[in-house]
Amino acid sequence: MSAVRRAVLALVLSAGPAGAQALAPNELGRVMILEYHRLAEPENRWTRTPANFRHDLETLYAKGYRLIGLNDVIDGQIALPMGTTPVVLTFDDSSPGQFRYIDKDGQLVIDPDCAVGILDAFAEAHPDFGRKATFYVLPGASKPNRLFNQPEYEAQKLQYLVSHGFEIGNHTLWHANLGKYPEPIVRDQIARAEVWIHRYVPQYRIRTLALPHGVYPKQVAWALHGTAGGTTYEYDAILEVGGGPAPSPFAQSFDPTHLPRIQAIESELRHWLTHFDQNPGERFISDGDAATVTIPAGARGRLRPALPPGVKAVERDGT
């Protein structure tokens, strides 16, 4: 570790990100992948109110968390300032409160109380927080979950997401429980969802699949890659429903085909935020350099066998 990086590390440990406890880099710590569903009133098991979602973002920001894309986690490309922690937002089921257009004085605008509107506004107020999320859409579902429930704006919405740095993921055609069906139906559900999405964003590569109900098909390979109806699909990761924080993408225990998530309800969020406050050594803390993976001294045995190209591991003692 260079003298310059040692000096920067000492400064971070004394100051830390605004509003957050100063923590030493630990890129073998765990990462929260948060799982949202409806954004609406009132708050319930699968619904977060707009006010509470804003509060979630404020809390994450104050505690030193910063948004990254799920694809960045999969690729092991964590480009965040030193002392901050990555967090991933995911939204399942393409319900209206996630992305809604409204008429304001004769102009079409994004509803400031939908998830995209709230994320856009928060990013404008806090540019260092980031503006990232993955939306797992249902192109063939019944109302109100069919591509955010505004048929006339389906193309506009998907194109907006892609052009503004958000990610789109596959959630099957109509939220099929993949564990109930034989191979042809599983593959058809996944492939036909891709066909629908690519009607509006034809060049976009869909890299991840979120399992409806968290249920795997009888063989995981059916979900990872295949062909149906002339459409070929291939995924880099599969997301579960629940399960807690995910391992670091640099850890031996990281398995992109079984990525756990934290359901973004009050009790779960409070539990895990408190857990990492009380157990900071378990939390992923960036070293500020995407080309290095800074780990605790003596922790090399926990690293995955091969790091991403161009990335090297550095122990906190400098070796």
- Judge whether residue 157 has pLDDT over 50: yes
Per-residue pLDDT of 13-71, as tens digits, reads 444 454 445 789 999 999 999 999 999 999 999 999 999 999 999 999 999 999 999 99
pLDDT of residue 1: 45
pLDDT of residue 21: 54
Average pLDDT of span 92-105:
97
- Taking domain 3-315, whether its CATH number is 3.20.20.370 is answered by yes
Average pLDDT of span 134-144:
97
Average pLDDT of span 91-108:
97
pLDDT of residue 301: 96
d(CA 316, CA 25): 8
Q: Which residue, 122, 23, 28, 7, is CA-closest to 64? A: 23
pLDDT of residue 22: 73
- Helices and strands: H and E segment counts in the chain: 8, 16
pTM score, two decimals?
Answer: 0.93
- Judge whether residue 311 has pLDDT over 60: yes
Start-to-end CA span in the chain (Å): 7
- Rounded (10°) angle between helices 266-278 and 50-62: 10
- Torsion angle of alpha carbons 243, 246, 247, 252, nearest 10°? 70
